[in-house]
Amino acid sequence: MSAVDSVPGIGVIGCGTIARYQHLPHLHRSRSARLVAAADPDAEVRRRVAQRYAIPVVAEATELLARTDVDAVVIASPTLLHAEHALLAAAAGKSFYLEKPLATTAEAARRVLAALYASRQPGLVAAVGFNYRLSPVFQEARRLVRAGALGELLAVQMLLCEPLDDAQTVPWRRRRESGGGAGLDLASHQFDLLRWLLAVEVVAVTAATVVQERIEQQALAATLQLANGVEAQCRALFGAGPRDRVELVGSRATLVVDRHRGEILRSGARPRKYGARMTRPGSLRALGMLRLRRLAQPSWEPSFARALAAFVAALRGDGNSAAVRDLARIADGAASLAVVLAAERAAATGLPAAVEPLGRPAGG
């Protein structure tokens, strides 16, 4: 689907929590795309989705991909099936937006990369759901970093915490083998954000620890070495109060970015006086509107809709859009997974682990 004036038909594979609260309603409301069908193995889920959106809902992904009115798919199935469904979409010649992570293993990720490289289908868009790139607060932080607001970058600290509801946590999210755990589910977001915010690659993990308590890999803490020599400390944790915070330490100032508060704080020296001068830099309109909306609806997270809109824009050939340029592609998914795997090796051995690139598809 490359014509700018066309309206692509999109199907959804997997109608669980993320699709129910984000992908399905956003696509249903979209004026730039049509939600035409969905697939899920659960009969009751199929009934509810078909009733709510008045679309056909089938049991198998292959049946959905065979439909001629489906130009692209959003893949929101359990993580263990991500690579399989991405391969099916590529084989069917369908563009796809794949929820992170790309895969659970290096081998599965390489199969996806190899299939995309071999297909060389013009116009096929393969994106990964690192939606936080499209959060207004991280967009503004990236602009400030690129504008030199920090001076020379010296260090990075990242913290991402999510509550753990024992009654509602689906079984696959409890085991690393099936795609659960803090590394794949949470830290993969951090590792992608780090690369995107700073335009630098992670080359090694020098220290990592894994906590196994209420679920397998409940927490992951890692110290990353960046290609520019800077060290980044990242901690991802299930079973804590919600938190998503990035602290960027520079020679001129420190930026503290808080996604949940929709806020950026800049700490700089006071002219000719001791102490810190705290300011709220950035777009007053973008972040002010975000904070106001959060007051009324604390759970509101605009990056999901913005990432899907960027995917649709890419389908329609709008490569000049800033949002499309920020959309995570398959190569980004592979890079994030490579860091997760290195962190897991470092935690298992107690030794530093180099980040081993998984490959690159044609066109990234």
* CATH code, domain with 207: 3.30.360.10
On whether residue 341 sits in a domain, the answer given is no
Q: Which tokens go with 338?
A: 């490579």
Whether 113 and 157 share a structural domain: no
Distance between start and end Cα atoms, the chain:
18
Q: Which of the listed residues 298, 317, 347 is the one where a domain comes to its end?
A: 298
On whether residue 137 sits in a domain, the answer given is yes
- The reported pLDDT for the residue numbered 118 is 84
Taking only the tens of pLDDT, the chain with its 364 residues reads 444 448 999 999 999 999 999 999 999 999 999 999 999 999 999 999 999 999 999 999 999 999 999 999 999 999 999 999 999 999 999 999 999 999 999 999 999 999 998 877 788 999 999 999 999 999 999 999 999 999 999 999 999 999 988 766 888 889 999 999 999 999 999 999 999 999 999 999 999 999 998 899 999 999 999 999 999 999 999 999 999 999 999 999 999 999 998 899 999 887 777 878 888 886 656 677 777 777 777 777 899 999 999 999 999 988 778 899 999 999 999 999 999 999 999 999 999 999 999 975 444 4
- Burial class, 15, CB count within 10 angstroms (exposed 0-12 / middle 13-18 / buried 19+): buried
Which CATH number do you get for residue 123? 3.40.50.720
Alpha-carbon torsion 112, 114, 117, 121, what sign? negative
Whether 58 and 121 share a structural domain: yes
- The reported pLDDT for the residue numbered 361 is 47
Q: Helix (H, G, I), strand (E, B), or coil: what is residue 364? A: coil
Whether 137 and 104 share a structural domain: no
Whether 51 and 184 share a structural domain: no
On whether residue 353 sits in a domain, the answer given is no
On whether residue 2 sits in a domain, the answer given is no
Whether 138 and 275 share a structural domain: yes
Whether 159 and 290 share a structural domain: yes
Whether 136 and 271 share a structural domain: yes
> DSSP characters for 261-320?
TTEEEEEEEPTTSSSEEEE--S-HHHHHHHHHHHHH-TT--THHHHHHHHHHHHHTT-TT
Whether 146 and 204 share a structural domain: yes
On whether residue 352 sits in a domain, the answer given is no
On whether residue 312 sits in a domain, the answer given is yes
On whether residue 237 sits in a domain, the answer given is yes
- The reported pLDDT for the residue numbered 142 is 96
Whether 84 and 155 share a structural domain: no
Whether 232 and 106 share a structural domain: no
On whether residue 57 sits in a domain, the answer given is yes
- The reported pLDDT for the residue numbered 119 is 76
- The reported pLDDT for the residue numbered 35 is 98
Whether 109 and 208 share a structural domain: no
Whether 29 and 122 share a structural domain: yes
Residue 39 belongs to domain spanning: 9-130+308-328
Q: Which of the listed residues 298, 317, 350 is the one where a domain comes to its end?
A: 298
Please state the φ and ψ torsions of residue 255, each to the nearest 5 degrees.
-105, 130
How many structural domains does the chain have?
Answer: 2
Question: How does strand 153-162 pair with strand 34-39?
Answer: unpaired
